[in-house]
Chains A and B, each alone.
Chain A
Amino acid sequence: MTIAPIAKTILGPIDEIPFGEGRTYAVGPDMIAVFRLRDGSLRAVSAVCPHKGGPLADGQIDNKVVVCPLHLYAWDLSTGCSQSGQPPISVYPVRVDDGHIILGD
């Protein structure tokens, strides 16, 4: 599991992400996919699928995994680990504060 350190950044209002979906944010040189789970909590992972570059924010999620839309491999949203022997994705700390998405600690 790789929780990547990242500088604290305000990404935008939480309402930008519907429940159960993800959106991509450009943070410096990185593209980060932020998901809002149906239980209201957030997960942030690298936006590019390590398999063949699929857009993870377009994938489907439940409260545990994201399924890439291209070839349907799945990654754990909390640990970044692949369930199918693929390379892991990076996981970033993320939370909501006062209606805004805060990336980093």
Chain B
Amino acid sequence: MTQRLVVIGNGMAGARTVEEILARNGDFTVTMFGDEPYGNYNRIMLSNLLAGVESEEGIYLNDLAWYQDNGITLNAGVRIERIDRFAKMVYATDGTATPYDKLIIATGSYSWTPPIKNIHNPKRGFHQGVFAFRTLDDTRGMIRYARDHERAVVIGGGLLGLEAARGLQNHLSDVTLLHAMGHLMERQLDEKAGHMLQASVENKLGIKVITNAMTTEILGKDRVTGVKLADGTVIPCDVVVVAAGIRPSTQVAADSGLTVERGIVVDDQMRVQDEDDIYSVGECAQHRGNLYGLVAPLWDQAKVLADHITGRDTEAAYTGSKLSTKLKVAGIDVASMGLIAPETDDDEVIIYNEPKKGVYKQLIIREGALVGAILVGDNSKAASLIQSFDRVQALPEERAELLFDIGGPAGEVKPEDMPDDAQVCNCNGVSKGAICGVVNAGCKTVSGVMDKTRAGKGCGTCKPLVQRIVEWAAGGEAEEDPAASWYVPGVPMPKPELMAAIRKYELKSVSAVFDKLVAGGEHDAKSKMGLASLLKMMWADQYVDERDARFINDRVHGNIQKDGTFSVVPQMKGGVTTPAELKRIAEVAERYNVPMVKLTGGQRIDLLGIPKEQLPAIWADLDIPSGYAYAKSFRTVKTCVGSDFCRFGVGDSTALGIAIEERFQGLEGPGKMKLAVTGCPRNCAEAYVKDLGVVAIDGGKWEIYVGGAAGAHIRKGDLLATVDSAEEVIRLTGRFLQYYRENANWLERTYAWVPRVGIEKIRAVVVDDAEGIAEALDAAIEEAVQAYKDPWKERAVPATPGQFRTSLPLTVLPQVPVRS
């Protein structure tokens, strides 16, 4: 049944939430109330309007026609003064009463006025000549008044005050900025950065700045003549703009008995505490103790609210936002995120300071992750820093790379200096020109460009360069890709939500996921493999295996090669084989004229160049289990000879490696899992650079390293634990792999996942069971291990008609060279 949705507040959050609800085809009749007599406009743009670089028409987000077209009743200029939660009615100052089934409160904030003598006029609110800076009416009034006057004072040296001061310069010649604190923007900038900004504002813009300035009185009776500071200084002026901060508009909510602390208290679904049918979004909402005064978090809140209220995903949860600002404050580049000062002795602080140029950069790094950054005067690195900050990415060893484009071959090149035909992606042969072409054709997201050109989709090392080129080609304005957080590109949900929805609706096949979770039930080829792997992990033997959801490698259990043939890799646990097996492999290779027999990096024998139609016969003749050289799954355990034969070995690495491989063979995951066990720290099996590597150390102990890599990326693993027995190694290995399987993004190898989540967190969960889920992880991995079947056991009967039929005549293809 169509429900009645009432929205109080027609500002940025309220209107955006309604847009999101419409986009999800929510079944509502919508009524909106806004006490400003306008449609919905972009409040941020008021700064531009004041500065004269934007017109009034240009700042509207939704005009009146939009409301009409979408069947929304807009009551513009009507203020709600009370909500009756029991009768489910809202009452407006014009005497009307409106019933609702669901209510959204999005009343935003009002600008706060510090206690200053004579600032108010008993009859008219503000003294004539005194203005706030919050609404379109404020801005209009300010412009009108400023035009006919000469000297302005702005009270408040935060973002808004700076914008106001800059904007006023457009209308009058003399602007003074008063700030009660010691330096400008003290919430976002440290002292040095604040002073640097002040110097730029004064020298470049010609705005006078006075810090530690407590305004105590507005002078003048009929018209403003000046302001007086606590120390007695008088600054003559005829316009005063107050931009001293904002307070959430919670009056209506508080008067109506809702829970209000600093803001209206909401839960992770943006529902007002203790209410079933009342929600709140935007600056008036208090979520997990935080209030947000920038728009980016509001967008996230709006999405969650819309998902929840339309029933599209009732468990969608907003978990808070990390705040970062990247702005031209009064024409000067400023970016700030996270901490502005170190908090512990271990926090790394990196500062670069070039006062003459007005450039200041500061980074705060904790345990290898960026927790704070300030940039003044040069925002060229802001985008990448915000990204590291948001996603808690691993930082380059050479910290200076974070602040400047230096080091590493990829770091050196600037997009503008590259010739058009310079090859950017060496795996897929994509040039700078090709990337720019796609950007110019309108695709401005990094992932969109990667999809269209395949740049960065090989080994991935060129991704940062691709990103820089996209940003450069898009004029510094690469768009945020909403899909960046999705698990697979075709289903609009990050992994935890996707898993929750799959569980809730009991979706056991890939097509069921598309049908239920994608608008219009659109299937997506590029998402199938990731979904298949996820579902298999979640449902084990209840998973409904649709063969077309598998990549060809998984359909025929072999790795496809450049000529359309496949490779056959018999299992060789821990790299150990027998003469009899070797003989069998050799005979089969001869019988089928295998073009190349090769030892792999994972200590196995690879038979390369097998036509698809021969695969079942070869496996039948080999009669050895599959070595899983394909699939996003557990691959091998490399071992050294260890204590059996080696003079130095202190642990039986071979036996442990075989035991691990036996237990976890064929296990699927979001990425490949390559392991190793080495018999002493001399590390002949290269265990420090594996997804999980085990090193025997003296005293019968084993060290377990995780998150290592020695492929396109190189990383030494982090020490997870040191344990006393081989059994303990196997137990923690299983638990770690399961935690990775459940939490990593699709195709995210452990070398990216471990630093993203943090080794401390992983250790707490996997070793110390801090979250009490160890038992569940152990049980889940046990179930997965038990579900293992060697795919080649079923070779006699094809799983689908023509499973092994050739797809190409091999003769027309480039032949793999045969070496004699």
Contact = CB atoms under 8 A, between A and B. Distances in A.
Interface of A: 15-24, 26, 31, 33, 38, 47-48, 52-63, 65-67, 69-74, 83-85
Contacts of B528: 60, 62
A21 B548 contact: yes
A54 B551 contact: no
Contacts of A63: 522-523
B454 A71 contact: yes
Contacts of A38: 511, 523, 548
A71 B428 contact: yes
A69 to B, nearest CB: 5
Given A21-B800, A69-B552, A84-B454, A55 B808 contact: yes
A96 to B, nearest CB: 15
B457 A48 contact: no
Given A55-B564, A58-B807, A60-B528, A85 B434 contact: yes
B453 interface: yes
Contacts of A58: 552, 555, 560, 564, 612, 807
A74 B526 contact: yes
A18 B525 contact: no
Nearest to A37: B523
Interface in B499-555: 511, 522-526, 528-529, 546-549, 551-552, 555
A58 B558 CA distance: 12
A69 B562 contact: no
A24 B805 contact: yes
A14 to B, nearest CB: 10
Nearest to A86: B454
25 contacts: A17-B801, A18-B548, A18-B800, A18-B802, A20-B547, A20-B549, A24-B806, A26-B809, A31-B808, A38-B523, A47-B808, A48-B808, A55-B564, A57-B807, A59-B525, A60-B529, A60-B549, A62-B524, A70-B560, A70-B564, A71-B454, A72-B457, A83-B452, A84-B454, A85-B437
Interface residues of B, number: 41
B797 interface: no
A59 B549 CA distance: 10
Nearest to B441: A85
Given A18-B801, A60-B551, A73 B807 contact: no
A26 to B, nearest CB: 7
Nearest to B566: A58
B807 A24 contact: yes
A73 B808 CA distance: 18
B801 A62 contact: no
Contacts of A18: 547-548, 800-802
Contacts of B522: 62-63
Question: Which of B453, B490, B524 counts the most chain A CB atoms within 10 A?
Answer: B524
Nearest to B801: A16
B755 to A, nearest CB: 27
B349 interface: no
Contacts of B428: 71
Nearest to B511: A38
B812 interface: yes
Contacts of B806: 24
B419 interface: no
B295 interface: no
Given A53-B813, A84-B452, 12 more contacts: A18-B548, A23-B805, A23-B807, A48-B808, A55-B807, A59-B525, A60-B525, A60-B526, A60-B529, A71-B428, A84-B453, A85-B437
Contacts of B560: 58, 69-70
B452 A52 contact: no
B632 to A, nearest CB: 14
Interface in B542-595: 546-549, 551-552, 555, 560, 562-564
A6 to B, nearest CB: 18
B548 A19 contact: yes
B115 interface: no
Given A48-B808, A48-B812, A84-B453, A74 B547 contact: no
A53 B814 contact: yes
A72 B526 CA distance: 9
A66 B552 CA distance: 13
Nearest to A55: B807
A67 B526 contact: yes
A20 B551 contact: no
A74 B525 contact: yes
B525 A69 contact: no
A71 B560 CA distance: 11
A13 B555 CA distance: 22
A69 B562 CA distance: 10
Given A19-B548, A55-B564, A72-B457, A61 B807 contact: no
A69 B428 CA distance: 14
Contacts of B437: 85
A58 B814 CA distance: 17
Given A58-B560, A65-B525, A67-B526, A72 B454 contact: yes
Interface string B429-459: 0000010011000000000000111100100
B393 to A, nearest CB: 25
A11 to B, nearest CB: 12
A31 B452 CA distance: 27
Q: Which of B434, B528, B549, B552 has the most CB of A within 10 A?
A: B552
